[in-house]
Amino acid sequence: MGDYSKTVLYAALRGGSFAAGSFVDWNDSTYLVPFTLAFIAPLALGVVDLATTPHREQLEARSARASATGFQLLGIGPTVATNFRGQSIPAFGAIGMF
Q: pTM for this one? A: 0.53
CA angle 10, 11, 14 (to 5 degrees): 85
- Report the pLDDT averaged over residues 21-38: 88
User: Torsion angle, CA of 54/38/16/22, rounded to 10 degrees?
Assistant: -160
Is 97:74 a contact under the CB 8 Å cutoff?
yes
CA angle 40, 45, 49 (to 5 degrees): 150
Beta bridge partners of 18: none
Q: What is the mean pLDDT of the chain?
A: 82
Distant-in-sequence contacts of 36-41, Cβ < 8 A, 24+ apart: 41/14, 41/17
- Of 25 and 66, which is predicted with more confidence? 25
Tens of pLDDT, residues 44-74:
999 888 888 777 666 666 555 555 567 788 8
